[in-house]
Amino acid sequence: MTDWLWLVSLVGLTGFAAGWWLSRRRVRQSGLQQRGQFSASYVEGMNYLLNEQPDRAIDVLVSMVEVDSEAVETHLALGTLFRNQGEVERAIRIHQNLIARPTLSKGERSKALMNLGLDYKQAGLNDRAVVLFEQLAQESHPGKVKALESLLEIYQHEKEWLRAIAVSRKLQADDAVNQTHLIGHFYAELAEAALEGGDLRGAAKMVRQIRGLAPQSPRYLLLELRLAKLRGKQRLRLRWLDAIINYCPDYRLQVLDDLESYYLESNGESELVARLLELAADPDSGAQLVCQIAEKLRKIQGDEATVSLLEEHVNRTWSPLLQAKLLSLRELDGLAGEGTESRKLAAELLEGLTLSAGHHRCGKCGFEAREHHWRCPTCGAWESIQYKEVDRWLVHE
């Protein structure tokens, strides 16, 4: 059974159980003999849910509501089932009708408001959902954390980063779950927006906030590097480049062009070559990075020196990407001997590898992309997308 259906079942069964119990109590009080009928409805509805037949379960709930129109929990369960089945308008009607009842207890009203907020959110009526969730987030009740989490989802979706920060801080206080990492990303989004608008001072202010929250995060180091470069602070720029290369090897590819331009501006070609060779020799540098380094060295030293660098690597590690790169360079330089067909195949293999779908993959949902994303566009998780070596994919999958 999928997670979604488990959720539907759980919510539905809770509703059934509560509705059935309330109904039985009322039946006893009124002296009516409907006990057997509700027991049968409960078992029937439960069976439908367990057999993944939510439509049939809805029919049973509707008949229960007709018999006992006052059963709040049964209405809530029915509304949830409608929403999960995509019938949001029906869910909204049920929850609005519930809220209009003057006899609701405080807890029942909070539950109905929460569900109405979730209906609005699913229907894309975020403005209305926000009003309800903000109201629920002020009160003390069991659904408060859920209301804050829902608000946070909406603010992230709408890129309302300052509001997202405020909600995360409330969640941290209420739910005792550390939100530091998340808040760091929200400030980083604000810093990047400021940089795009040319507001260096504003960006620096946001970056200072991240320093206090996540000073070792790759995103913070990359932002410091960007700021140092824009301000022309060369010593600082090297400091941040070194920090990324040493502490965040997965992000080396992202800063390679910057490393090259820094050395060409400040130190000259010979120091650039020494630094690139040192980086290529580091065991934490993957095949993709070594290929990019080889391309940069080729511009300075020519094909032959690059071929010997790649040969060293190929002798050390088995890597189809490096093999293909090496063969295609030999081809370009006329260094290869016999075997035109295999050289042609190697060049095609190289092209296929470098152009293959996506070099980044989300560890939570499997989303793939060529470019890096701090937040997964599919599942919304932060920093779940990691750079993957093409070679590793070939070996392990």
Q: Can you give the binding site for Zn ion, defined by CB under 5 A?
A: 362, 364-365, 367, 376, 378-379
Residues 243 and 222: their CA atoms lie apart, in Å, by: 9
DSSP state of 159: T
CB of 373 to Zn ion, least distance (A): 9
305 vs 379 by CB, closer to Zn ion? 379
Distance of CA 161 to the CA centre of its chain: 16
17 vs 365 by CB, closer to Zn ion? 365
CB of 380 to Zn ion, least distance (A): 7
344 vs 364 by CB, closer to Zn ion? 364
CB of 376 to Zn ion, least distance (A): 3
Which single residue is written with the structure tokens 């090897």? Answer: 249
3-state SS, residue 344: helix
385 forms bridges with which residues in the sheet? 362
CB of 382 to Zn ion, least distance (A): 10
120 vs 367 by CB, closer to Zn ion? 367
Residues 238 and 228: their CA atoms lie apart, in Å, by: 9
H or E stretch at 369: strand 368-369
CB of 363 to Zn ion, least distance (A): 8
21 vs 387 by CB, closer to Zn ion? 387
CB of 379 to Zn ion, least distance (A): 3
CB of 4 to Zn ion, least distance (A): 17
253 vs 362 by CB, closer to Zn ion? 362
H or E stretch at 67: helix 54-67
CB half-sphere exposure, 57, CA atoms < 13 A:
31
193 vs 365 by CB, closer to Zn ion? 365
CB of 96 to Zn ion, least distance (A): 34
220 vs 367 by CB, closer to Zn ion? 367
Distance of CA 34 to the CA centre of its chain: 50
CB of 374 to Zn ion, least distance (A): 12
369 forms bridges with which residues in the sheet? 360
31 CB neighbour count, 10 Å cutoff: 6
Q: Report helix angle 218-230 to 252-266, nearest 10.
A: 30
What are the start-end ranges of the E strands in 230-334?
A: none
Residues 79 and 119: their CA atoms lie apart, in Å, by: 9
- From the list 291, 287, 293, 289, the residue with the least C-alpha distance to 275 is 293
CB of 381 to Zn ion, least distance (A): 5
Residues 143 and 356: their CA atoms lie apart, in Å, by: 45
332 vs 365 by CB, closer to Zn ion? 365
49 vs 376 by CB, closer to Zn ion? 376
H or E stretch at 272: helix 269-281
DSSP state of 86: T
Residues counted in the chain:
397
CB half-sphere exposure, 20, CA atoms < 13 A:
20
